[in-house]
């Protein structure tokens, strides 16, 4: 019996290798990274240690083996490949690298920090996608290419000298775009739109924090739009693409709750520009969501 089981396991391994083999050389070529094949798990993983970074956290030196290694793992999904990955970036790299992922057909599923008190501040962006192997590897390669291109403080930053106490913008112009009045508090104009989900059978909505909101300060010519978009999972990529094409900076993508149905993902943004342009861009992003 043991011999029979051993033969079956060997046959299964051979069949997997014959029908599910990776072109590892091609993946390494397209991603620009070296990888390791885990035959048992059926996963080929490429990695990029951020040895170019010198990160300190309250006196502690953070090195690539401590979590400063970007990676992408490939596995077979029928006639396609699936990838999941985690990209390690400085703040200024986040948005150009995110655009590289979105513009090449990948999904961005989370953006957050892993450390406290780190200098420079490090952010982690999770990606996923499913395509034919060459297309998927090429898309991942574009992400790592942009990561390398923006190293050394060559990413995107935004700056404006704004103080809520000096806000002069005309909220009526923004209200026309949003189709709703905003609230005013100490130089800050705020708009809120509710979304609904259920937890333990009970509906949760706007008053419980399940909402999209945006605040505006500044002038008609130079304003800051700062806020949070509440999205169902199927809406995330559409909203992200719309906001990034409008040059909004995405600062976090994460959940605020657990066990809710449908699941709600929250996207925090920060953008500077003419107030009406910012409002139109945000309205366009929200219009990609389900009604």
* Residue 243 resides in a domain: yes
Cβ distance 129 to 139 under 8 Å? yes
Q: Which of 157, 92, 85 is nearest to 120 (CA)?
A: 92
Here the CATH number for the domain that contains residue 63 is 3.30.70
Residue segments in the chain with a per-residue pLDDT below the cut of 50: 1-2, 4-18
Distance CA(163)–CA(268), nearest Å, equals 20
Q: Which residues fall within 8 angstroms of residue 195, CB to CB, at 6 or more apart? A: 205, 206, 210, 211, 212, 230, 232, 264
What confidence score (pLDDT) does residue 291 get? 61
**Is residue 291, in this structure, part of any structural domain at all?**
no
pLDDT at res. 113: 97
pLDDT of residue 290: 80
Sign for the CA dihedral angle at 93, 234, 84, 18 comes to negative
Same domain, 140 and 32: yes
13, part of any domain: no
Per DSSP bridges, beta strands 197-199 and 223-232 are unpaired
Cβ–Cβ < 8 Å for 194, 210: yes
CB 205, CB 195: distance < 8 Å: yes
Residue where a domain stops, chosen among 120, 149, 178: 149
Q: What's the CA gap between 108 and 90, in Å, rounded?
A: 17
Instruction: Provide the 3-class DSSP secondary structure of residue 275.
Output: helix
In a domain, 155, yes or no: no
Q: Is the residue at 15 inside a domain?
A: no
**Rounded to two decimals, what is the model's pTM?**
0.90
Report residue 143 CA to chain centroid gap.
12
Q: What is the DSSP string of 183-237?
A: EEETTEEEEEEE--EEETTEEE-GGGT-EEEEEEEE-SSSEEEEEEEEEEGGGHH
| Residue 3 covered by a domain | no
End residue of a domain, out of 98, 118, 149: 149
Query: In which domain, by residue range, is 221 found?
Result: 164-286
Q: Are residues 38 and 139 in the same domain?
A: yes
**Pair of tokens at residue 91:** 């703040």
């Amino acid at each position: 019996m043991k011999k029979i089981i051993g033969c079956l396991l060997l046959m299964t391994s051979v069949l997997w290798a014959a029908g599910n083999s990776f072109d590892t050389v091609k993946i390494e070529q397209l991603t620009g990274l070296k990888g390791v094949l885990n035959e048992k798990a059926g996963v080929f993983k490429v990695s990029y240690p951020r040895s170019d970074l010198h990160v300190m956290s309250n006196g502690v030196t953070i090195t690539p083996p401590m979590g400063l290694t970007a990676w992408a793992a490939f596995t077979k999904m029928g006639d396609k490949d699936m990838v999941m990955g985690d990209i390690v970036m400085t703040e200024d790299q986040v948005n150009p690298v995110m655009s590289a992922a979105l513009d090449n057909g990948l999904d961005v599923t989370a953006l957050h920090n892993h450390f406290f008190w780190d200098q420079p501040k490090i952010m982690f962006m999770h990606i996923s996608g499913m395509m034919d192997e060459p297309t998927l590897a090429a898309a991942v390669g574009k992400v790592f290419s942009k990561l390398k291109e923006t190293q050394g403080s060559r990413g995107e930053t935004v700056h404006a000298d704004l103080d809520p106490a000096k806000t002069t913008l005309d909220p009526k112009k923004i209200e026309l775009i949003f189709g709703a009045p905003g609230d005013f508090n100490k130089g800050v104009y705020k708009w809120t739109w509710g979304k609904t989900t259920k937890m333990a059978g009970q509906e949760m909505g706007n008053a419980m924090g399940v909402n999209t909101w945006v605040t505006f300060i500044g002038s008609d010519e130079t304003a800051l739009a700062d806020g949070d978009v509440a999205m169902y999972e199927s809406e995330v990529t559409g909203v992200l693409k719309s906001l990034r094409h409008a040059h909004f900076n995405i600062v976090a993508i994460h959940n605020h709750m657990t066990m809710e149905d449908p699941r709600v993902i929250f996207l925090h943004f920060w953008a500077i520009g003419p107030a009406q342009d910012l409002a139109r861009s945000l309205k366009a992003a929200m219009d990609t969501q389900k009604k």
